[in-house]
A and B are shown apart, each in its own frame.
Chain A
Amino acid sequence: MTTMLYAITLEVRDAPGVLVRVAQVFARRGCNISSVHVEHPAETPWSHMSITVQNVARIDQIHHQLEKLVDVHRVTINHHQDTSHE
């Protein structure tokens, strides 16, 4: 089986609850987050969030819903197929 991997990076406000808001976009679809990393580099106004998810439907829709969050500044999504488990 081929797996579609999505690597999502977000620039977000360093505000309480922002991780919950992002996680809810996935959780409401029953989509599991494989990994998440958040840090706030000293020199920038934004926290950087990196998330990976697998095989989620309608990633375009997720992209817009993430961008719509009031605390989310920018969203980039990269995807690639993982055939290593075949």
Chain B
Amino acid sequence: MDGATALIKTLERQGVEYIFGYSGGAAIPIFDAIVTSGTAIKLILVRHEQGAAHMADGYARASGKPGVVLVTSGPGAGNVVTGLMTAHMDSVPMIVICGQQIRQMLGFDAFQEADVFNMTMPVVKHNYMVHEVNDLPRIVNEAFHLATTGRPGPVLLDIPKDVSSAPFTGSLDAPIDLPAYTHRHSVSKTHIAAIAAAWQKAKRPLILAGHGVLIAQAAPAVRTLAEAMDTPVTTTLLGKGALPETHRLALGMLGMHGTAYANKAVVECDFLLNVGSRFDDRIIGDPAQFCPKAFKAHIDIDAAELHKMIAVDVAVRGDAKESLEALTAALQPARHTTWNKHLDGYRRQYPLQYSDNEGLTMQHLIDRVYHITGGKAVVATDVGQHQMWAAQFYKIDQPRNWLSSGGAGTMGYGFPAAIGAQFARPHEPVVAFVGDGGFQMTLYELATACINKLPLKIIVLNNHYLGMVRQWQELFYDNRESGVNLEGNPDFCKLAEAYGARGIHITGLDDADAKLREAFAITDRPVVINAEVVKTSNVFPMVPPGAPLTNMIITPPATALDKPTGST
């Protein structure tokens, strides 16, 4: 057995089902071992390494299991950097294996030698250069342990070709050896008691639930606690599904493009429990003016997130589920009828809405897809206006049904992530909402989707613009458009058909519903739905970047806005 075979066998023992990969010289021994080892792991050949990384990410978010990527050295590894960053920013478990030049050539600028170990350090939880063939099983086991425990993240293995080809004489049962790594932190009883005491006194309590809730499988604990304490819940973009968004206590997403009622709840609450969100600048606006009147508590597994953006009254380092269960045990159930009625008033006064006056809008289409799929689809989005409207109008009732690049905001993420999700959940409907800009960054993966006959629906919300940037130019730069016009887009339907997918063109309000139903009836191949939508709508509500949530703009402003000075 060679190193490559030991690697594949260890991956198999880790329960890996799929490897998303793209070959090349330095990785040939590993690709060879996939064949010669007779492994049950299925290799999914992608069309670009960035696609592989986002597929593994989508697979991981949709399944909870780490996604695995295999690429060659140099340019192959270079092409996964954006995917690593995307997964790292959103705490997604992923294992990326890169081929590398042979050891004696390292440092000589040999063919396709790139210093991947140093290049990727800032965008991974941890990485390895494997120097000894017999270390491979231990390192693979460590990689899975690191990727999936504590705050999850991507781990990269750089494997020189002479290491993967060398005879393996070690043990596949190699135990992990990570003496400096700790991921379990016992939840402080004193701090839980302090949070409980403040909550018990609160008149206007609020829960803010982030991605950490879903990672820790704490969604049921959020629901139990919210119901017992009659406390409304707002979520971050990545926290969608932490409480079913159709639940009476769900306020939807907060922040820059959050619901008016969620943002008003944040401004007015007297008690805020943040569980598993890192108080990102997209949700807090001006940190100095965030949630000024409230007692603030924060639960996070990562100590580096506590007191980082917002200094809180009580910070608990620990697992979200364990902490929430401890809180539930420490609290007496309460009713907050007045507060919830007050927020219901905001729901009625400032509902999420759109008008059909100017034709087919993205909101209308997303809303229709929500109803046609019964709110049950696994939804992936790309980045831009369509992403924010999808977050507003596609309510998520179940954890792991919402895949979106939050921290990195990576255009090109949505479609390959949906492919990964469809591999993870083959019998469930998967929908990708993408922009005409972002789709063109990774649409070459139509080949991968077609070859594997994935029945996913790719909905191109085509405004012929880099819409979100155009919105900022309109609002903050006197409507001076620069580098945002996408006239000359290809015919997405013909492109789809060229790959072997179905292409369906929606031209306006009149044919939208019938065409959507036609698309959702197709189950033997991918469908690309090219929807021509109103070109220049803007996403509201909007909190200008760096401004306090009280400055939220709910309807289109009549006058020009000042240029934002805060976070980009």
CA gap between A37 and B117 in the complex, in Å: 23
Of B119-127, B464-472, B526-534, the one with at least 4 CB within 8 A of chain A? B119-127
**Which A residue sits closest to B146, measured CB to CB?**
A70
Number of A-B contacts (CB under 8 A): 41
Of A1-9, A49-57, A60-68, A76-84, the one with at least 4 CB within 8 A of chain B? A60-68
A68 with B304, Cβ < 8 A, contacts A12-B180, A73-B179, A73-B180 known: yes
Set of chain A residues within 8 Å of B308, measured between Cβ atoms:
61
Count of A interface residues, CB-CB < 8 Å: 21
A70 touches B179 (CB 8 A): no
**Which B residue sits closest to A28, measured CB to CB?**
B122
CA gap between A60 and B315 in the complex, in Å: 14
8 shortest interchain CB distances as A-B pairs: A64-B304, A73-B180, A70-B126, A64-B303, A70-B181, A65-B304, A68-B304, A13-B180
B506: min CB distance to chain A, Å: 45
Contact residues of A: prevailing secondary structure: mixed
Q: Give the interface centre of B126, B180, B302, B307 by most chain A CB atoms within 10 Å.
A: B180
B306-341 contacts to A, CB under 8 A, are 306-308
From A17, A60, A61, give the contact of B121 (CB < 8 A).
A17
Set of chain A residues within 8 Å of B179, measured between Cβ atoms:
13, 45, 73
**Which A residue sits closest to B178, measured CB to CB?**
A70
One digit per residue, 1 when the CB lies within 8 angstroms of any chain A CB and 0 when it does not, for chain B 120-149 equals 011001100100000000000000001000
Set of chain A residues within 8 Å of B122, measured between Cβ atoms:
24, 28
Cβ of B355 within 8 Å of any chain A Cβ, yes or no, is: no
Set of chain A residues within 8 Å of B304, measured between Cβ atoms:
61, 64-65, 67-68
B69: min CB distance to chain A, Å: 20
Set of chain A residues within 8 Å of B306, measured between Cβ atoms:
64
From B121, B125, B146, B178, give the contact of A24 (CB < 8 A).
B121
CA gap between A67 and B302 in the complex, in Å: 10
Cβ of B118 within 8 Å of any chain A Cβ, yes or no, is: yes
**Which B residue sits closest to A72, measured CB to CB?**
B180
- Chain B interface size band reads 10 to 19
A47: min CB distance to chain B, Å: 11
A16 touches B129 (CB 8 A): yes
CA gap between A67 and B306 in the complex, in Å: 14
From B118, B302, B307, give the contact of A20 (CB < 8 A).
B118
A68 with B302, Cβ < 8 A, contacts A13-B180, A17-B118, A73-B180 known: yes
**Which A residue sits closest to B307, measured CB to CB?**
A60
CA gap between A17 and B120 in the complex, in Å: 12
**Which A residue sits closest to B308, measured CB to CB?**
A61
B270: min CB distance to chain A, Å: 27
**Which A residue sits closest to B180, measured CB to CB?**
A73
CA gap between A68 and B125 in the complex, in Å: 9
B118 touches A67 (CB 8 A): no
Set of chain B residues within 8 Å of A28, measured between Cβ atoms:
122
B121 touches A71 (CB 8 A): no
Cβ of A21 within 8 Å of any chain B Cβ, yes or no, is: yes
CA gap between A64 and B302 in the complex, in Å: 9
A17 with B180, Cβ < 8 A, contacts A64-B303, A65-B304, A68-B302 known: no
B180 touches A71 (CB 8 A): yes
One digit per residue, 1 when the CB lies within 8 angstroms of any chain B CB and 0 when it does not, for chain A 18-62 equals 001100100010000000000000000100000000000000110
Q: Give the interface centre of A64, A69, A70 by most chain B CB atoms within 10 Å.
A: A70
Could you give 21 example pairs across A and B, Cβ below 8 Å?
A: A11-B180, A12-B180, A13-B179, A13-B180, A16-B129, A17-B121, A21-B121, A24-B122, A28-B122, A45-B179, A61-B304, A64-B302, A64-B304, A64-B306, A68-B302, A68-B303, A70-B125, A70-B146, A70-B178, A72-B180, A73-B179
Set of chain B residues within 8 Å of A60, measured between Cβ atoms:
307
**Which B residue sits closest to A45, measured CB to CB?**
B179
CA gap between A64 and B304 in the complex, in Å: 5
**Which A residue sits closest to B150, measured CB to CB?**
A68
CA gap between A73 and B146 in the complex, in Å: 15
Set of chain B residues within 8 Å of A68, measured between Cβ atoms:
302-304
CA gap between A42 and B118 in the complex, in Å: 28
One digit per residue, 1 when the CB lies within 8 angstroms of any chain A CB and 0 when it does not, for chain B 83-127 equals 000000000000000000000000000000000011001100110
CA gap between A17 and B122 in the complex, in Å: 12
**Which A residue sits closest to B305, measured CB to CB?**
A64
* Known contacts A20-B121, A70-B146, A71-B180; 15 further A-B pairs (Cβ under 8 A): A12-B180, A17-B118, A20-B118, A21-B121, A28-B122, A61-B308, A64-B303, A64-B306, A67-B303, A68-B302, A68-B303, A70-B125, A70-B178, A70-B180, A70-B181
Set of chain A residues within 8 Å of B303, measured between Cβ atoms:
64, 67-68
A83: min CB distance to chain B, Å: 29
CA gap between A71 and B129 in the complex, in Å: 14
A17 with B178, Cβ < 8 A, contacts A24-B122, A70-B126 known: no
**Which B residue sits closest to A58, measured CB to CB?**
B308
